[in-house]
Structure 1
Amino acid sequence: MATLDDVRRLAESLPEVTSKLSWGHEMWRVRDKSFVWERPLRKTDLAALGDAAPEGEILGVRVADEGEKQALIASEPDIYFTIPHFDGYPAVLVRLAAVEEDELEEIVTEAWLLRAPKRLAQQFLAERELGQA
């Protein structure tokens, strides 16, 4: 079971990450581009989800495109979901209580790689590969 503290630790371990409050909730960015953020459900979200509305901490995560978003939701609907507010937007919502820490690390890192400048992302991947060798 992951928490926002886990998200904070993982996100802030990545190069050039800053955090800021947006609408009273924490958001993590790389060079002013958000990649993950705390996203509690609003009244309209709860109404749209009805009985399927999850409880607990929710994380918004940038993904590559609508296809990746739909694939995540289809593959693990207990973890990933969306709301009408994100229709057509490349982001997915994550039930933190349902995701394992290794998967959380993977989705946070992937989101960071999508938003980081190419040179910074390449440097990070090269350093990570050297560390695994």
Structure 2
Amino acid sequence: MATWDDVRRIALALPETTERGTYDDLPAWRVRDKPFVWERPLRRPDLDALGDAAPTGPILGVRVPDLGAKEALLADDPEVFFTTPHFDGYPAVLVRLDRISVDELTELVTEAWYARAPKRLAAELRAQGAERPRR
């Protein structure tokens, strides 16, 4: 299953990606200063909302293109993808990092990058035929 090293390697392989901590100094990866994936441990309100269903282990926050994509991921694999009330109405999902394959993580991080990258930069990457970073 995937690790933080995998997240870092995949994200930093994408053009103009930087790693910079969040306000609480957790790792986050950005394209032109727009975050697209980040470490997101569960906080007290999240734990209260999830109750016994609250997962343990590393949690990755991932930006998705829109709320439809979010709903599709949540419905597709609830053992991997979930959300909390904090993210209601926001195009992002939470991912149980220890339950996602590296191939699926690569696709997810790449799509998150495309969702946040400026259109011209995204078009340049697509034109190069580099839909996915090298593993």
Q: TM-score, normalised by structure 1?
A: 0.94
Paired position in structure 2 for 1:78: 79
Aligned to 1:19: 19
1:35-73 Cα offsets, whole Å, 9 max, x none, are: 000000011111110111111110000011111111100
SS in 1 for 2:98: helix
CA RMSD in angstroms, aligned pairs only: 1.2
User: What letter is aligned with 1:51?
Assistant: D
Q: Which moved more, 1:15-24 or 1:99-108?
A: 15-24
Deviation at 1:127, TM superposition (A): 1.2
* Alignment size in residue pairs: 130
Q: Look up the equivalent residue of 2:89 and give its one-letter code.
A: G
1:46 alignment counterpart: 47
Structure that is richer in strand per residue:
1
TM-score, L = length of structure 2 = 0.93
Indicate the percent of aligned positions where both proteins have the same amino acid: 63
User: C-alpha separation between the residues in 2 aligned to 1:95 and 1:87?
Assistant: 18
- The answer to whether the aligner puts 1:4 opposite 2:4 as a matched pair is yes
- The runs of at least 4 aligned residues of structure 1 exceeding 4 Å deviation read none
Instruction: Return the alpha-carbon distance in structure 2 between the equivalents of residues 113 and 67 of structure 1.
Output: 16
Instruction: Please tell me the residue identity of whatever aligns with 1:53.
Output: A
SS in structure 1 opposite 2:128? helix
Higher helix share: 1
- Cα-to-partner distance string for 1:59-98 (whole Å, 9 max, x where unaligned): 0000111111111001100010000000000100000011
Quote the Cα distance in structure 1 between the aligned partners of 2:15 and 2:27: 18
- Quick one: which amino acid aligns to residue 11 of structure 1? A
Which consecutive unaligned segments of at least 5 residues does structure 1 have? none
Give the secondary-structure state (helix, strand or coil) at the position aligned to 2:51.
Answer: helix
SS at match of 1:107: helix
